[in-house]
Amino acid sequence: MPRKKSSKLPLILVLIIIGAAGFIAYHDGLIGTTALRDINQGDISEGTAVSVKGEIDYVSGLGVTVVTVYDGDGHFVVFNYDGALPAKNSIVVARGIVDSPFSLRDVSSIDAVFIFS
């Protein structure tokens, strides 16, 4: 008797859902972000590439755009950014290099959080 072939569609769908959830979790800063507290206390060495999650608290656009990202617990970082910014008070993930305990340099991207605020 021939064996019945099992459908692989449910397995493929589950793998796609897990992959999509992992991508969204990474994008929204649930995986792989550095705490602003650790940067402010000097626990992260200068020159280290980091991803930080926080709320855009201050934006100054006088010639150079200066952005402050705040975590709600009194910890913050300041950096220059030339790209498009989400609105003030948006929750974002910023990727850059630690320049000092309170600043980042070479910020490569600022992504607004999709789901996980």
pLDDT at 48: 95
Domain boundaries, the chain: 9-112
The CATH class that applies to domain 9-112 reads mainly beta
**Between 1 and 107, where is the model more confident?**
107
pLDDT band at residue 49, thresholds of 50, 70 and 90?
very high
pLDDT band at residue 116, thresholds of 50, 70 and 90?
low
Region 72-89 average pLDDT: 89
Q: Residue 5 pLDDT more than 80?
A: no
Q: How many residues does the chain have?
A: 117
pLDDT band at residue 88, thresholds of 50, 70 and 90?
confident
State the DSSP H helix or E strand holding residue 23, giving kind and residue range, or none if neither: helix 9-27
Region 107-113 average pLDDT: 90
